[in-house]
Structure 1
Amino acid sequence: MQTVTLAPHEIREAVSMREAIDAVRGGFVDLAAGQFEMPTRTAMRDGHFLVMNAHHRATASAIVKTLSVNFDRVPAISGTVVWTETGRADTLVADAATVTTLRTGAAVGVATDLLAPADAGRLTLIGAGGQAPDQVRAVHTVRPLRELTVVDSDPRRAEALAATLAPELTGTRIRTATDPGAAVADAEIVCCATPATSPLFPARALPAEVHVNAIGAFRPTMRELPDELLASATVVIDERAAILAEAGEILHALESGALTEDDLTELGTALTAPEAPRAGRTVFKTVGVAMQDWTVARLLADKFLP
């Protein structure tokens, strides 16, 4: 029996964004089919400490993720993902920050591939923190980008991210901005990855047809999207119980009457029973669920464990 511990660079070298997207897509399908035992995560100190776990019934495998979150430090996320299964005596331990950013990006890739117009290629990314690079990589994987606008209140941080991503986005026009409302005006896809506690832009700032991903708000006190957008859009979520416990913008919209629970469709359901092509505005709201960590950990286990 051994424990294999993986550093961030080993995870990055082992799992491509395309592999992660395909794995997470399968995970959402299995979640909709009832293949996961997955309690709502435990949040302590108002989300500064999180514990998440998931068991995949078909493979008798499970993960437990423990992490701390502090937006005043770099990296903001630290912790571990531990993989175990009944068929192997060995255990795998992976860096939680890397797994989290990779699987969150992959979920956005799955949703964008399902909901964004096939020819969409203009992305506005709001927030240039630790989650941001994988948001861009995921969208670029499913919708090759013609234009990218990186928005952050700190111009230097936006410029640094743009410079980091430029070698991966050959042929893509990249610019930076500080005003989210102006930056989303001509976007075809928007990714919100901030710790905001109030909406980042008014609904009227968006085009009539746009797909919006919102990953930043993971506590009831946080909120990136306005009620008016949610009321006028097709809203797809990662998992109902998690959203109703933690997603600030969804909870606010339900309380205000802008949404009802019947307006929310889980991504796994949308993938297994796709509707006609969607027009107008679409939103994918995710707080992140342990199934996503399981999908990436399974890829790592298959590559690193005997």
Structure 2
Amino acid sequence: MQTITVGPSRIREAVTMREAIDAVRAGFLDLAAGEFEMPTRTALRDGQFLVMSAHHRATASAMIKTLSLNFDRAPAITGTVVWTETGRVDSLVADAGAVTTLRTGAAVGVATDLLAPADAGRLTLVGAGAQAPDQVRAVHTVRPLRELTVVATDPRRAEKLAESMAPELPGTHIRTSADVTAAVGEAEIVCCATNTTEPLFAASALPARVHVNAIGSFRPTMRELPDELLAHSTVVIDELGAVLEESGEIRHAIEAGGLTRNDLTELGTALSAPEAPRGEQTVFKSVGVAMQDWAIARLLADKFLA
């Protein structure tokens, strides 16, 4: 009996984004089928400390993640993911920062593959923090990018991210912009990965045909998207209970009367009925759920445990 510890570099070497997307997609389907016990996460100190857990009934496996968030330090996400399974005597402990960014990107990959136009190839990324690279990788995996525009409040961070992503995106035109309104106006896909408390752009700034992913806000006080966009879009979420408790933009739009609970479709349900009618503008709003961490932890367990 032993505990295997897997650090960030080994996680990156072991799990491709395609594998992560496939695993998280399967996880969302199982979530919709009722295969998980998954309590809403515990948030302490207004979200600076988070505890998440999930039990997968079919495999008798469980995952617990504990992490701390501090956007003024690098890395911003620190903590551990612990995996156990009744069929294995060994357990696994993985770096929570790498698992979190990978699984968040993977969820965006699943949603983008389902909701974005098949020919979409122009991505505007708003935010250049820890989550940003895996947002790009995930979208590129399901919709090969012709153009990438990075928008950030700090132009130096935008330039640094653009430079770091260039080797992974051969043939993609990459640029930075300080004008978020202009940048989203030219996009076919938008990814928002910020910790803002106010909407990043007006709904009128977006093209008539666009898919928007919003993963940055995870507390009721945080909002990346305007009410008007949510009111007039097909809105897909990761999990109803989680977004009603934690998503500032969903809560605000419901309180303003532009959105109801019946307007929200969980991603697992949408995957089960991919031909359901949807509008020209689609939104995926995610606050992150423990199933996603379980999905990545299971991949790691399969690779590192006997």
Please state how far the C-alpha of 1:278 moved relative to its aligned partner. 3.5
**Distance (whole Å) between structure 1 residues aligned to residue 291 and residue 275 of structure 2:** 24
Q: Which residue of 2 aligns with 1:300?
A: 300
Structure 2 CA distance for aligned equivalents of residues 98 and 52 of structure 1: 15
- Is 1:156–2:185 an aligned residue pair? no
> Is this contact kept in 1: 2:270–2:276, CA < 8 A?
no
Query: TM-score, normalising length from structure 1?
Result: 0.99
1:218 matched to which residue of 2?
218
Structure 2 partner of 1:50: 50
CA displacement at 1:225 relative to structure 2? 0.1
1:72 is aligned with what amino acid?
Answer: D
Aligned pairs for 1:66-105 within 5 A: 66-105=66-105
Q: Which amino acid aligns with 1:268?
A: G
Aligned to 1:130: 130
C-alpha deviation, 1:277, in angstroms: 5.9
What amino acid does structure 2 have at the position aligned with 1:24? Answer: V
Q: C-alpha offsets along residues 30-52 of structure 1, whole Å, 9 cap, x if unaligned?
A: 00000000000000000000000
Q: Distance in 1 between matches of 2:139 and 2:232?
A: 23
Amino acid at match of 2:65: K
C-alpha distance after superposition, 1:35-71 (max 9, x if no partner): 0000000000000000000000000000000000011
The Cα of 1:275 is off from its aligned counterpart by 2.7
* Aligned residue number for residue 266 of structure 1: 266
> Structure 2: any 5+ residue segments left out of the alignment?
none
Deviating 4+ runs (over 6 angstroms): none
| Paired residue secondary structure (2:182) | helix
Amino acid at match of 2:241: A
Cα displacement (A) at 1:186: 1.1
1:62 is aligned to: 62
**Could you report, residue by residue, the CA deviation over 1:162-211 in whole angstroms, capped at 9, with x for unpaired residues?**
00000000000000011211110110000000000000000000000000
CA deviation string 1:186-242 (max 9, x = no partner): 100000000000000000000000000000000000000000000010000000000
Q: Deviations over 1:246-269 (max 9, x none)?
A: 000000000000100000000000
Q: 1:116 maps to which residue?
A: 116
- C-alpha separation between the residues in 2 aligned to 1:39 and 1:157? 36
- Structure 1 residues 123 and 277 mapped into 2: Cα distance closer, same or farther (>3 Å)? farther
Deviation at 1:276, TM superposition (A): 4.3
TM-score (normalizing by structure 2):
0.99
Mapped to 1, the partners of 2:74 and 2:120 lie a distance apart of 32
Matches within 5 A, 1:172-191: 172-191=172-191
Distance in 1, matches of 2:43 and 2:157, equals: 29
Taking the aligned partners of 2:185 and 2:39, their CA distance within structure 1 comes to: 39
SS at match of 2:89: strand
Seq. identity, %: 79
The residue type paired with residue 241 of structure 1 is G
- Amino acid of the residue matched to residue 250 of structure 1? I
- Cross-structure match for 1:234: 234
Q: Distance in 2 between matches of 1:216 and 1:180?
A: 16
Q: CA RMSD in A?
A: 0.7
Instruction: Name the CA distance, whole Å, in 1 between partners of 2:234 and 2:77.
Output: 31
Q: Which runs of 5+ in 1 are unaligned?
A: none
Aligned equivalents of 2:101 and 2:219: distance in 1?
A: 17
- Partner residue, 2:197: 197
Matches within 5 A, 1:7-18: 7-18=7-18
Q: Does the Cα contact within 8 Å between 2:66 and 2:81 map onto a contact in 1?
A: yes
- Partner SS for 1:20: helix
